Chain A
């Protein structure tokens, strides 16, 4: 119970930051793909810059996680086709619905219950991928 409280807390902070950054707004995603505002690029750019620094620093200092092993980021499998095609399909849906998998949940909290339709459809999309997985090029 105490163990899961820390994840609940991280989730709450995540939800607050994404609402306050306006990254949960459909309009901000549209504006980003129109290149008409720096806002979203600033968020992603400064997040990645900070992330690179934090991870490099933790590597240098050999920081350990709470399980007392070295901090570790899971490695993505090598590949090209799955990333470019899967990524493009994701981008099409992201721009149309204006919501990626984090904001989808957060938007429920803002009272936008119609986003539940988007979540159900995303579950269906994930399920269909699971069925087709072995037939798709990766």
Chain B
């Protein structure tokens, strides 16, 4: 039981994620979480104004069911299957984060400096969450997929477009962390 409560090693989690992808393909579907953002836009009525959202979203209900399950899974894992919940980060990472103003790095899943109610009520904190989310939503649709669709499914099926997209993911991530973070948080 103790090994379930502790964080699971990468060599358990990686193959489990691949099995999830495979099970969905077996069910005649595909592993793509960002498609739900498009579906939610369509449900909200975006199809009346923009053609891109004018599709039969009811055919995508299975994927929204996965989202609902993922929320439940997150709840179960965090509140019943995790003691402790802190992240065992590289001490170097903790030190760098501290110099950027992030205290207690790894003591929770998300930094309070960005995700606490206090942070959200500051203009800078709110702007960071909104800009981050916007870029994810815009970028993933432009690239036609996210980590699940490109990095896991696309690479597993040896598709070149997905490799290009994953290179893009890393390019953007490296620019953000190495060039922009010191400007935003320095």
On A, residues with C-beta under 8 Å from B are 3-4, 6-34, 36-40, 42-52, 54-55, 58, 63, 65-67, 69, 71-80, 82-102, 104-112, 114-115, 117-131, 133, 136
Contact: A110 with B25, CB < 8 Å? Answer: no
Contact: B90 with A31, CB < 8 Å? Answer: yes
Contact: A77 with B173, CB < 8 Å? Answer: no
The residues of B that contact A119 with a CB separation of less than 8 Å are: 133
Give the CA-CA distance A28 to B115 in the complex, in Å. Answer: 15
Give the CA-CA distance A66 to B20 in the complex, in Å. Answer: 15
How many A-B residue contacts, CB cutoff 8 Å?
495
The residues of A that contact B74 with a CB separation of less than 8 Å are: 15-16, 18-19, 24, 105-110
On B, residues with C-beta under 8 Å from A are 7-11, 13-30, 33-34, 36-38, 40-41, 44, 46, 50, 52-53, 61-63, 65-79, 81-82, 87, 89-90, 92-93, 96-97, 105-106, 109-111, 114-117, 119-120, 126, 128-148, 150-159, 161-162, 164-178, 180
Q: Main SS of the interface on chain B?
A: helix
Contact: B110 with A25, CB < 8 Å? Answer: yes
Contact: A94 with B27, CB < 8 Å? Answer: no
Chain B nearest CB from A44 CB (Å) reads: 6
Chain B nearest CB from A38 CB (Å) reads: 7
B69: contacting residue among A3, A7, A29, CB under 8 A: A7
Chain B nearest CB from A113 CB (Å) reads: 9
A88: contacting residue among B79, B89, B172, CB under 8 A: B172
